[in-house]
Chains A and B, each alone.
Chain A
Amino acid sequence: DTAVSQTPKYLVTQMGNDKSIKCEQNLGHDTMYWYKQDSKKFLKIMFSYNNKELIINETVPNRFSPKSPDKAHLNLHINSLELGDSAVYFCASSQVWPLLLDTQYFGPGTRLTVL
């Protein structure tokens, strides 16, 4: 059983399109995250949700909108895609908040390519 799953694994799209990436965890965790890994493999947190409530919203363009319909899901919707949005996006979850008390479980990543 996959603990943290993301769909799709690969996403290729044109500039200006709107796309979504879905994330689900079956671990019963309370907290979920979205990270962006750029072409230099540098990871940066984008959002953190605890019990469906937004905890962290880093300096991410408002074209990115996370949505958490329930504790097990945290989806990422991106409007008006730009070339610079090309990256690998990782979803993660942890059992408790704050994170300093727990380890994270990562999804397999979604490689987004904007043409």
Chain B
Amino acid sequence: EIVLTQSPGTLSLSPGERATLSCRASQSVSSSYLAWYQQKPGQAPRLLIYGASSRATGIPDRFSGSGSGTDFTLTISRLEPEDFAVYYCQQYGSSPQAFGQGTKVEIK
């Protein structure tokens, strides 16, 4: 069973700054089957990135994903006010699928 560990737990940044979120897997994630989701309070999660680096439909290009094997990164190039939220990674390459514990991006 693959365990995903996200870091940091909380990221305090200002609008316009760059955010770098990490997701580390306990074993290699096959075929880069790694997704990133954004969740705002009171809302369902929203898919941002799939296949480690492909943006989902309608996702702005300030969001980018990278990585392979056991180390993956979500980068938000310039934070907009609406980007302050919790972000989760998910591996879907092997069963059982699993989410990381989340990283909260908060306004500094």
- A and B form one complex: no
Binding site for A on B (CB under 8 A): none
Q: Which residues of A are in contact with B by a Cβ distance under 8 Å?
A: none
